[in-house]
Amino acid sequence: MSEYTYPIFFGVIVGTATRIYMLRTDYRQYPTYLHGKIIHVALGFIAAGLGTVAIPSILEEEFTAITFLTLAASQFRDVRNMERNTLNELDNYELVPRGKTYIEGIAIAFESRNYLVIFTSFLCTLGYLLFNIWGGLIAAVIAIFISTKLMSGGRLGDIVEVEYFEPRFDGPGLYVDNIYIMNIGLAERQKEVLRYGMGFILKPKNFDSRATIANLGQRQAILHDVSNALGVYRDSGTPALVPLAKRDLDDGRVGVFILPQENDIEKAIKIIKKVPTLENAIRMPKEREKKLEER
Amino acid sequence: MDIEKFILAAITTNPKKVPCGVAVFHCDNKEEMEKITTNLEAILDGIAHSLTDELYVIVKH
């Protein structure tokens, strides 16, 4: 055994454990299947190995070994493609699809989490070799803390206020507050919608969030998450029973109409507030103005 | 160019208000119109929209 054996083991174990921690299944129900998890844990193990061996390579002045990290980058980009393709295929069979923006966000998260594992293992092994196992443990705690911070993005509750409104009909037009949702012609269908439907108004807290919730992908993510958590009163062959989110063009509010199987207003509001703010949907039109003013 | 939405059928109780270029179902009264629309909605996998009290259209979205 060389002097690097224990630090390498330590880095790999902490890195793999970090990946398992970041792979926890939550209310979004992904990934739930065992084989999907095995793929990601195995890739996490490889990432941990790559991050760990970088330190002994530098110490031994084997700088060409570091170039393997670039190979790793291309491998993990493939992870993103794999997730994107899988989720796009699965999305066709969802009663309320995730939408491409949400899928892209998940795929990016899977790729970036492997880089966080490399970073964690790198720091742990460095800490172990520079100090001792306690140094490695302190580095592990710091790296896991940073990884946790970086892996959790913003929530919708940070940028909007959510209020419940009972859906209503004006003729065949379905409304949530004063926001027009859709035209439902059949009286029978209207009764179903009023019986099971729930309406919510998302009021943006500032101008930037107005642009973010206007994004169609962000709106689809809200519908998917709520339908996923509360169930959906819908089946194939009932296209009129569809959750929708429409925008008030005057003030940027968004009216969300859902058809949950569990009619719990408080829970629905909680879920809407916990919907992730999708990276690809975030817009900051006011940010540039602020920077210009500061100059 | 892909057309994403199109009218699959029209159901009416007023023969004067019949649109062209689409399958039209004539009905004697509103009750019959609702019944046929419900069945067509399920068969065609479209959404029934009411344009007037006398005219429904089934639209594929």
Residue A271: the pLDDT is 94
- Interface residue of B49, B51, B53, B60 to substitute, partner A, most A CBs within 10 Å: B49
Going by the DSSP 8-state scheme, the letter that residue A90 receives in this structure is H
Does residue A235 belong to the interface with chain B, where contact is any CB pair within 8 Å?
Answer: no
Q: How many Å apart are CA A175 and CA A189, to the nearest integer?
A: 15
Whether the CB-CB separation of A131 and A10 falls below 8 Å is answered with no
Strands A198-204 and A244-247 come out as unpaired
Question: Can the peptide bond before residue A167 be classed as cis, meaning omega within 30 degrees of 0?
Answer: no
Whether the CB-CB separation of A248 and A214 falls below 8 Å is answered with no
3-state SS, one letter per residue, for B18-56:
CCCCCEEEECCCHHHHHHHHHHHHHHHCCEEEEEECCEE
Does residue B52 belong to the interface with chain A, where contact is any CB pair within 8 Å?
Answer: no
- Interface residue of B50, B57, B58 to substitute, partner A, most A CBs within 10 Å: B50
Strands B6-12 and B23-26 come out as parallel
Whether the CB-CB separation of A65 and A53 falls below 8 Å is answered with yes
In-domain check, residue B26: yes
Amino acid at position B4, single letter: E
Residue A98: the pLDDT is 92
Whether the CB-CB separation of A223 and A154 falls below 8 Å is answered with no
Contacts of B34 in chain A (CB under 8 A): 186-188
Q: Which residues 171-190 in chain A show a CB within 8 A of chain B? A: 171-172, 182-189
Contacts of A188 in chain B (CB under 8 A): 34, 38
In-domain check, residue B49: yes
Does residue B37 belong to the interface with chain A, where contact is any CB pair within 8 Å?
Answer: yes
Q: How many domains does chain B have?
A: 1
Residue of A nearest to B32 (CA): A186
Residue A151: the pLDDT is 77
Could you tell me the residue ranges of all domains in chain A?
A: 5-152, 157-284
In-domain check, residue B1: no
Q: Where does A60-99 have alpha helices with state H?
A: 68-91
Using DSSP's 3-state secondary structure scheme, residue A58 falls into helix
In-domain check, residue B52: yes
Residue A63: the pLDDT is 81
Strand partners, B28: none
Residue of A nearest to B61 (CA): A239
Q: In what order do the strands lie in the sheet with A244-247?
A: A160-165, A198-204, A254-258, A244-247
What the block records as the tokens of A241 is 């029973």
Q: What is the pLDDT of residues B5-44, one digit of tens each?
A: 889 999 999 888 776 788 999 999 999 999 999 999 888 8
Question: Using CB atoms, which residue from B34, B46, B49 is nearest to A187?
Answer: B34
Predicted confidence pLDDT, tens digits, chain A (295 residues): 788 899 999 999 999 999 888 887 555 556 566 777 888 889 899 999 999 998 888 888 888 877 878 877 888 888 888 889 988 998 889 999 999 999 998 888 888 888 999 999 999 999 999 989 999 999 999 998 888 888 777 889 999 999 999 999 999 999 999 999 999 988 889 999 999 999 999 999 988 889 899 999 999 999 999 999 999 998 887 888 999 999 999 999 999 999 999 889 999 999 999 999 988 888 777 766 666 677 6
Q: Which domain holds residue B47?
A: 6-60
Question: Using CB atoms, which residue from A185, A236, A238 is nearest to B37?
Answer: A185
Burial of B46 (0-12, 13-18, 19+ CB in 10 A): buried
Whether the CB-CB separation of A31 and A25 falls below 8 Å is answered with yes
ipTM over 0.85: no
Q: How many Å apart are CA A91 and CA A228, to the nearest integer?
A: 13
Q: Would you state the torsion angle of the CA atoms of residues A156, A277, A122, A138, taken in this order, to the nearest 10 degrees?
A: -10
